[in-house]
Amino acid sequence: MHELSLCQNLIDQLTGLTHRNEAIAVARIEVQVGVLSGVEAQLLQSAFTLSKLGTVAETAELVTTVIAPRVVCLSCRAEAEVPPNNLCCPACDSQVTELVRGHELILARVELIRDELSKLEHTNHV
Amino acid sequence: MCNTCGCNVTDGNRHLLAPAAKGNPVLGGNPAKILNGLLENNDRQARLNRARLDELGVLTINLMSSPGSGKTSLLESTIRRLDGRLRLGVIEGDLETENDADRIRALGIPAHQITTGTACHLDAHLIQGGLDRLDLGQLDILFIENVGNLVCPASFDLGHHRNVTLLSVTEGDDKPAKYPVMFRAADLMLISKTDLLPHLGEFSPERAEGCLRNLASRAPALRLSARTGEGMDDWIAWLSAEHAAYRKLLPARQTLIPRVETEGRKIHALGPEITFRPLAPAG
């Protein structure tokens, strides 16, 4: 399945992040999966379970957050969560809307494990 | 994208999975696209393909649909109707056989067949190989007939300019509601095989278009029959208008991009937040 290929790339990226940040392993990652991204969160979980074996992410926990479609109405400016096959404005029925959430596939958070006490309180953004 | 098979790896992109590709350049560049690594490689090739097509001014149309909804018949009918007024070329995607490319070549139009084996979509690397085999300087419009599949092809930018999705009247008219990712990607929806409508009372073109509109799509929905020619004029008019609009953009180094691809570029702005935890003490 293509989720396996995506995970293989994810593992590569996590390996790079681990080394660059002088960490020894990955503890936890959070991925946001939009309902309209074409990726299934559940299949991503199964694929990750297989892909992480023998890597820096072997004991890592993958937390997926499924992001529901959200539109902004270009007529009445209302913003609302909507079902994936009805992206019209629930407030005014307009079909002229813009999808603002729900098509994303984002690695939002990575928690790494470090072996040095001196780096315990270090937090940064890469 | 396909959730059931190994469709994300094709002969075109397999090399990216080799160990040599592990030092993926995506790494330091745009961290928020990290998970999207494989698609980022595809998207990069797609941009190269598009630049190459724009250099030569070849409007490229990606035809997508279920298997058997009439993509090749539409192309045959389009070739006959245009009768050389626009110079056409075709890249055919199928799992096996040269059959579709043979049908196109029989009409005197250059065609390259990509057989994907088990992969159920075309990707930008496969298309690059196809572009190498066509004399692009001799073309006005290149059609890419994607593998018949309403799931995976929607997720891969090929470097083309417009997505056209066919829905034949032998299918359910609620397909756009069932496959929102695919139909949201359409810059034009073609309701095909309308000559069969009298025999298929349960299919309502209005309902099909309603489902498309529910996806907040402003894409036109045309009805046609490649067999009888009904509605073909509107399709040819759309094609000619897109070609004219495209050619107008080129001198200013601008191009057409499928609507759904332009939307994707707005996301993935921020990198992941990195935090640390200490190694748990032994025992």
DSSP tag of B282: P
Closest by Cα among A109, A73, A104, A115 to A91 = A73
Convert the pLDDT of each residue in B155-200 to its tens digit.
789 999 999 999 999 999 999 999 999 999 999 999 999 999 999 9
Contact residues on chain A for B17, CB-CB shorter than 8 A: 5, 8
Query: DSSP string of B63-76?
Result: EE-STTSSHHHHHH
Rounded Cα distance, A97 and A75, in Å: 8
Angstrom CA distances, A14 to A7, A106, B35, B149, B273, stand at: 10, 14, 10, 33, 13
Q: Do B273 and A110 touch (CB under 8 A)?
A: yes
Q: What is the residue whose two structure tokens read 């139009």? A: B109
Q: Which domains does chain A have, with CATH numbers?
A: 2-67+103-125 (3.30.2320.50)
Of A103-117, B26-40, B131-145, the range with the lowest mean pLDDT is B26-40
Across A19-42, average pLDDT: 91
What is the complex's ipTM, to 2 decimals? 0.79
pTM score: 0.81
Q: Which of B264, B213, B189 has its CA nearest to residue A99?
A: B264
Contact check, Cβ <8 Å, A6/B176: no
Beta bridge partners of B162: B61
Specify the fold of B2-266: Rossmann fold (3.40.50)
For β-strands B111-115 and A61-67, DSSP reports them as unpaired
Q: Do B273 and A108 touch (CB under 8 A)?
A: yes
For residue A99, pLDDT beyond 70: yes
> CA B79, B83, B88 angle in degrees (round to 5)?
50
DSSP codes of every residue in B155-210: G---S-SEEEEEEETTS-TTHHHH-HHHHHT-SEEEEE-GGGGGG-TT--HHHHHH
Counted across chains A and B, CB pairs separated by less than 8 A come out at 167
